[in-house]
Amino acid sequence: MIEIILNIIYNRYIERGFTYMIYYDYQSIEKKWQKHWLDTKMFKTRTDKFHPKYYVLDMFPYPSAAGLHVGHVEGYTATDIVARYKRMQGYNVLSPMGWDAFGLPAEQYALATGKDPKTFTYQNIKNFKRQIIEMGKSVDWDRELATADPEYYRWTQWIFKKLYERGLAVLKDVEVNWCEGLGTVLANDEIEIVNGQMVSERGHFPVVKKPMRQWVLRITEYADRLLNDLDLVEWPENLKEMQRNWIGKSSGAMIDFELANSDRKFTVFTTRPDTLYGVTYCVLSPEHPLVLEITTEDELEEVKSYIQKTKAKSDLDRISDKVKTGVFTGAFAKHPITNKLVPIWIGDYVLPQYGTGAVMAVPAHDERDYEFAMKYGLEIIEVIKGGTEGAYEGDGIHHNSGILDGLNNEEAKAKMIEYLENRKIGYAHHTYKLRDWVFSRQRYWGEPFPVLYDKDGNIRLVPDDELPLTLPYLEVFKPSGTGESPLAHATEWLYLTIDGKEYKRDTNTMPQLAGSSWYYIGYLLKNHLGYLPFDSKEAKEVLDLFLPVDLYVGGTEHAVGHLLYSRFWHKVFYDLGLVSCKEPFMKLVNQGMILGSDHSKMSKSKGNTVSPDDIFLSHGADALRVYEMFMGPIEAEKPWSNEGLDGAKRFLDRVWRMFDFEVMNENVKELEVIYHQTVKKVTDDYEKLAFNTAISQMMIFVNEVYKVQKIGKEQARGLLKLLNPIAPHVTEELNQTILNSHEELVYSEWPKYDEKFLIETEVELVVQVNGKLRARIQIKRDLPEAEVKEIALSHENVIKHTEGFQIAKVIVIPNKIVNIVVK
């Protein structure tokens, strides 16, 4: 009823020729423009070569039941500002949206409720899409996709086939993170450490290491390219460093150690072959295949117990434990040069997948080895002169080192590698922390593998014309109990006969990261008719036109997961000739987290979450967009503030009421300087994604308009254009209803500034006496030096500090500083 009355009052004001609104009806205005944009497909991207392209991309969301949160809105608003700004600059902008729809959460929902995960997921997608439309994001919805759409994952399966054909997808027995409670393998980023034990992030079920036969993608084949090509992209340096550390390239040597009283040997990788003479013991990983074979009977029980305890630890926990532990195997190895016997231990800090799962210990020159040796009373031999207590890890002159005596570190490394290679007991080598990507999941809700197995385990690929291989409908989503996924229950789907020969499908599905590793390309292949074939000429033309992505915005949590795997797949596409650029994402920005008003992470349990739906109703989408962009730099963490949200709404109200002032046909002279300064400042800030300072400058301009109580029509429309990318609804409404413009802002030309108005007429003069600041004075720019001296010397605080002294000289730096020297 109140809303009806207020609308009646508003209409009467309009009828009487008043534009001053006592009621800013943001809800009807925002609904009006959102409908208009959808009905007209306003943001549909053209495939034309006559305008420069700009591809702006969001890390697409997983559509959870909770809906969007204000953190989503922050990143999505930032990319929308850039998209709208670039359209006004004449770019052919692609701004798509889709859904990371496969994955564990939907499967867990199905297990808990007995309901179909597909229905649940697509209901959530519908809600997410509504919220994104209501926040005013300018999306080309003809390109909408979900990774769970069969027509999309047809091409995910096709990509897998290409990986298999190139030898990059292989079946291997690998040690995985097995979660019995969830009935599936988990990736490292799906695991947490609680009280020193591995548990699943979802549900906190115990996780253990377990060998299983899995599909593995050989990302390690691309390690060097993934490392080197980081130089090609404009990413935050800390994120690049995270990828470099994850890839973890190390240069050194492989060295063979023979077992005492045996013809067997093991190989170690070391980055310090120059310290070989200082080796006093070796350590194998508990998983090393030689451990149980070489362990003596007296040590066997303790070794087995230690191995069992190691299985409950995560890799991160093993390498980060400050106190290193180990157990002696009772066995010895021969030193490769001196033939001296060195004891062989096992230690959980040695990982089986890094290097060779075996290390040579040099306690005099490695802090970890030193602490271990001190703890277990092992020998320490100094081979580099350092003169410090503990382990000396720096450069120095070698001694006690035979052929290396008198050499520094680098010289000694080169000579030792040459010595090892000549005697065929070692060689130069590079190794990586990066491991191959375990690609199998024991889940139902994921992409089925397009493979068939005959009774002998031989593999047959599903032909392209039979893709997609779709998921069968299941009523039971419980794990099979055999280590297989729930697909083991779908017997009619699982078994088939081709040309009289029996085959079985793979019961595993692909991980959630499969679909998200190429979705930025999926948008380009997708149109209202479906998908262009990935390997078609038409697809290549589109991909060459739009790739790489110009701006990608998302969270740092994807640094060594999604971003690394997407880069890997993209390089495979490059090798296949499907794309022409080496990297998928040229510029990457990580938005900071929006915290609760209590400065802690938002969570339901803390009761500090904020729903954008509530803000759409209470303040409007434009106010929410302005507030989130005004909170601070896009990359920074920021606490939520209802007062700040109120302030954003008051600013938009002031913009609205500003149009009650006289709108003149000619520009208002009093506003010329501040207007052109504002155009330049906002333009520069949008280029830098400094949206908070852009808003500040527009606030300054609006304040100046209020002082003079009038504005020129060109100046008014210019302000609306500047503000439109941040607050698109209210600016389009003012442009249409108050300025009576028939040209919508969305594709209008971006304002230009005139350099002649950017020269400041006044400057701040700093006055120093004997180098100490004594005054700051506003003066006209480019005054004669004599006049500047007179003004400076007449300032009362300068007089106070020069009285009674002799002025030796006055130094003037034009438009900046006057330095007075007194005796």
Q: Which residues define the annotated binding site?
A: 604
Q: What's the burial of 69, exposed, middle or buried (CB within 10 Å: 0-12/13-18/19+)? A: middle
- Greatest Cα pair distance, the chain, in angstroms, is 114
Report the C-alpha gap between 181 and 104 in whole angstroms. Answer: 13
> Looking at the DSSP assignment, which residues form a beta bridge with residue 268?
255
Instruction: Tell me the C-alpha distance between 102 and 118, whole Å.
Output: 9
Measured between alpha carbons, how far is 222 from 180 in angstroms, rounded to an integer?
33
Q: Using alpha carbons, list the distances in angstroms from residue 442 to 119, 164, 311, 483.
A: 21, 20, 20, 7
Which residues fall in the annotated binding site for ATP?
A: 604
Strand partners of residue 678: none
Q: How many H helices and E strands in the chain?
A: 27, 33
In terms of C-beta density within 10 A (0-12 exposed, 13-18 middle, 19 or more buried), how is residue 494 classed? middle
Whole-number Å distance between alpha carbons of 278 and 238: 36
Let me know if 193 is exposed, middle or buried by CB neighbors in 10 A (0-12, 13-18, 19+).
middle
d(CA 247, CA 239): 13
- Residues 386, 502: Cα–Cα separation, whole Å: 69
**Cβ neighbours around 55 below 10 Å, total:** 26
Strands 501-505, 495-498: pairing is antiparallel
**Lookup result for tokens 């890799």:** 315
First to last CA, the chain: 80
Residue 222 φ then ψ, to 5°: -110, 15
Name residues whose C-beta falls within 8 Å of residue 467's C-beta, 6 or more positions apart in sequence: 154, 157, 158, 450
Helix 117-134 and helix 104-113, axial crossing angle in degrees, nearest 10: 120
CA–CA distances in Å: residue 748 to residues 9, 51, 487, 744: 33, 15, 54, 7
Contact in structure between 298 and 358 (CB atoms under 8 Å):
no
CA gyration radius for the chain? 34
The number of beta carbons lying within 10 Å of the beta carbon of residue 807 is: 13
Nearest to 719 by CA among 750, 758, 742: 750
> Contact, 55 vs 523, CB < 8 A?
no
**Helix, strand, coil shares of the chain as percentages rounded to 5?**
40, 20, 40
Give one DSSP letter per residue of 748-798, joined into a string.
SPPP---GGGSS-SEEEEEEEETTEEEEEEEEETT--HHHHHHHHHHSHHH
Question: Distance between CA atoms of 732 and 655, rounded to whole angstroms?
Answer: 12
